[in-house]
Every structure is written in structure tokens, then in C-alpha cells.
């Protein structure tokens, strides 16, 4: 153990710092590249027209939220197993970033739905399970301060983080299990991607940019929590050092 | 170019959300870094060294 954290925490700090240094500038380039591909390279879809281009930002946001929630899920499991605060901080950071991207999905979807389905929102299986996913993790973030400081609160959060993730397979499979307005998966399906090469390339660029952005956000958010821990430790020490 | 406004609104909202969250991360990072600097200065001063100027 070091003074301000475990050996796991120190190793995780080093890894997150490296991830942050690499992903932050790359995410910037990636977003510019994605914008170029969406505007200038991807063709207009024959039936839906230009509004179909919402697809790239919508799907990339969904992917970034799934990735973030997966990190919360895995970190929560590791916290319950190892009881190391480093995993709890990572789970919290990833949950917050996941909620941001899930909000982007829920905000962008209606702007695609209105011109194509004729409605901003419908209580369709995919839309409803995505809203439930968002509510679970918003609940995770809102309830954390009330769950108590220290291990008790972290344990409670870890359980919610794990249970919440179980909704993701439900979100993904909802379009197969129920009759739904939402399109079937056209990339992750048994026949392989069902997209023209230009659209697939654009989607992959958008996915890469949003993945880098999510990893950058998570590593910065985790660093903030780590610095807060350090500040709390110094606050406890400051009066002692001052002879108080 | 039918429905262009829907496309622009969708990407404007995604961009706004990401920008606001990014800025909130920067603000929180600066806040805690500033607090750490103040605390470290206070500890150094208590040990007899010189801390940073305190406002």
C-alpha cells in the first residue's frame, strides 16, 4: 500500500494517464475525421435521404455508452472481488460517461424518428429498454451520495452497476424479440455488415472517434476522483502538520 | 436536402452535450488541482517552508 492508495491504484493511475495522453488528441482528430466522412464521404440513403446520416452519430454514441457501462460492470465486479477503491472510482467514472453518451442516443434518436416514423417517441421495445438503461445509471449516479461514504456506498453502487449492465443484452436483442419500429441490427448480425462500403467506412470512423472520446473522458474523470481522494487525505493531514 | 434541419439539430445536440461535459471535466479538474495546490502549500508552510501566496 502507498500512502494515498493501493498498488492497484498506482498501476491504474499510470495506465489511465497513458490512455489519456494517447486518446485525448486522437479523439480530437477522430471527431474531425468523422465529421468529414459523414458530411463529405457517406452517400445519402436512397429512401430516407440526408436524415439517415444521423445514424453515424446515433450508433457511435450507443456504442460508446455500451463500452462505458461495460467498464462500469467489469470494474464493479472487480471491486466486489478485490475491495480495492481504485475499481470503484473507475466504475463511477465510466458510469457518468456512459450516461452522457446514452443521453446523446436518446436525444438524437427522436430527430431521426420524427421524419421517418412520423413521431418523436414511441414506447417501442428498443426505445423503452434504452430509456430504462439510462434511468438505471442516472439512478446509480444520483443515489451514490445517499448510499453512504466508504465501503458500504461503494458496495451498493457496484451491485447497481452490475445489475444495470444486464439491460444491455436486452436492449440489443429487443429488436429481435419484439415487434418494433426500430431497424434490425445491420452491422452486428449473423450475415455480417449489411451496409455499402462507404457507409460502413464512415460508421467505423465514427465508432473509432467516439471510442477514443469515451476512453479519454473516463480516464480524465477517474483522475479527478483520484485527485479528490488525495485532497481529502491532505485535508486530514493539514491540521496535524499545522499542530492543530 | 429534405429533413436537413433534423440532421443539424441531432448533431448540434450531440455536439453540445459532449462539449458541455468536456468543459465540466476541465472545470472540475482545475478546481481539485487548485485545492491540492493550496493544501500542499499549507502543509509546506506548517513545516516551516514557504507555501504559495494565499489570495
Residue A6 falls within a domain, yes or no?
no
Those residues whose C-beta lies under 8 Å from the C-beta of residue A119, and which sit 6 or more positions away, are A113
C-alpha cell of A242? 499545522
Residue A23 falls within a domain, yes or no?
no
Residue A225 falls within a domain, yes or no?
yes
pLDDT at A66: 95
CA A35, A41, A44, A45 torsion: positive or negative? negative
Give the Cα separation of A34 and A38 in Å (integer).
Answer: 6
Contacts of B46 in chain A (CB under 8 A): 238, 241-243
Mutate to test the interface with B, among A44, A220, A231, A233 (most CBs of B within 10 A): A231
Which residue on chain B is closest to A34 by alpha carbon? B11
pLDDT at A124: 87
State pTM to two decimals. 0.89
Residue A68: how many CB atoms within 10 A of its CB? 26
Full domain range(s) for residue A220: 30-40+52-235
Mutate to test the interface with B, among A39, A101, A134, A241 (most CBs of B within 10 A): A241
Structural domains counted in chain A: 1
On whether the CB atoms of residues A92 and A145 are closer than 8 A, the answer is no
C-alpha cell of A107? 436525444
Region of residue A26 (phi > 0: left; psi between -120 and 50: alpha; otherwise: beta): alpha
User: Would you say residue A169 has pLDDT above 90?
Assistant: no
Residue A21 falls within a domain, yes or no?
no
Confidence of residue A7 (pLDDT cuts 50, 70, 90): confident
Residue A2 falls within a domain, yes or no?
no
Kindly determine whether residue B7 and residue A108, on different chains, have CB atoms separated by under 8 Å.
no
Q: Rounded to a whole number, what is the distance in Å from the CA of B53 to chain A's nearest CA? A: 17
Residue A14 falls within a domain, yes or no?
no
Kindly determine whether residue A217 and residue B25, on different chains, have CB atoms separated by under 8 Å.
yes
Q: What is the mean pLDDT of chain A?
A: 88
**Strand, helix or coil for residue B47:** coil
Contacts of B36 in chain A (CB under 8 A): 227, 230-231, 234
Query: pLDDT tens per residue, chain B (55 residues)?
Result: 678 999 999 999 999 999 999 999 999 999 999 999 988 888 888 877 655 555 4
Residue A243 falls within a domain, yes or no?
no
- Own/partner contacts of B6-10, CB < 8 Å, gap of 24 or more, are B6/A51, B6/A54, B6/A111, B6/A112, B6/A114, B6/A115, B7/A50, B7/A51, B7/A53, B7/A54, B7/A111, B9/A111, B10/A54, B10/A57, B10/A58, B10/A107, B10/A108, B10/A111, B10/A112
Query: What is residue B49's DSSP assignment?
Result: S
Confidence of residue A203 (pLDDT cuts 50, 70, 90): very high
Kindly determine whether residue A100 and residue B18, on different chains, have CB atoms separated by under 8 Å.
yes
Q: Please tell me whether the interface predicted TM-score (ipTM) of this complex is above 0.90.
A: no
Give the Cα separation of A34 and A100 in Å (integer).
Answer: 19
| Higher pLDDT, residue A197 or A175 | A197
Residue A129 falls within a domain, yes or no?
yes
Amino acid at each position: 500500500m502507498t500512502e494515498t492508495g493501493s498498488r492497484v491504484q498506482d498501476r491504474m493511475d499510470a495506465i489511465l494517464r497513458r490512455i489519456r495522453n494517447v486518446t485525448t488528441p486522437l479523439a480530437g482528430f477522430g471527431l474531425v475525421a468523422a465529421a468529414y466522412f459523414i458530411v463529405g464521404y457517406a452517400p445519402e440513403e436512397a429512401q430516407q435521404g440526408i436524415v439517415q446520416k444521423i445514424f453515424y452519430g446515433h450508433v457511435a454514441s450507443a456504442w460508446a455508452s455500451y463500452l462505458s457501462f461495460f467498464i462500469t460492470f467489469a470494474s464493479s465486479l472487480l471491486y466486489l472481488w478485490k475491495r480495492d477503491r481504485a475499481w470503484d472510482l473507475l466504475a463511477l467514472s465510466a458510469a457518468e460517461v456512459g450516461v452522457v453518451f446514452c443521453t446523446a442516443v436518446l436525444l438524437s434518436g427522436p430527430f431521426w424518428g420524427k421524419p421517418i416514423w412520423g413521431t418523436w417517441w414511441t414506447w417501442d421495445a428498443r426505445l423503452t429498454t434504452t430509456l430504462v438503461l439510462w434511468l438505471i445509471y442516472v439512478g446509480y449516479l444520483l443515489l451514490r451520495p445517499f448510499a453512504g461514504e466508504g465501503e458500504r456506498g461503494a458496495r451498493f453502487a457496484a451491485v447497481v452497476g452490475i445489475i444495470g449492465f444486464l439491460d444491455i443484452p436486452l436492449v440489443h436483442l429487443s429488436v429481435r424479440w419484439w415487434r418494433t419500429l426500430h431497424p434490425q441490427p445491420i452491422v452486428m448480425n449473423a450475415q455480417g455488415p449489411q451496409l455499402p462500403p462507404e457507409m460502413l467506412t464512415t460508421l467505423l470512423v465514427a465508432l473509432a472517434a467516439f471510442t477514443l472520446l469515451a476512453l479519454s473522458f473516463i480516464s480524465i474523470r477517474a483522475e479527478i476522483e483520484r485527485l479528490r481522494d488525495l485532497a481529502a487525505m491532505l485535508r486530514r493531514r493539514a491540521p496535524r502538520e499545522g499542530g492543530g | 436536402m429534405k429533413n436537413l434541419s433534423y440532421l443539424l439539430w441531432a448533431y448540434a445536440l450531440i455536439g453540445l452535450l459532449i462539449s458541455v461535459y468536456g468543459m465540466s471535466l476541465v472545470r472540475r479538474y482545475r478546481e481539485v488541482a487548485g485545492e491540492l495546490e493550496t493544501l500542499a502549500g499549507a502543509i509546506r508552510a506548517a513545516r516551516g517552508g514557504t507555501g504559495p501566496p494565499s489570495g
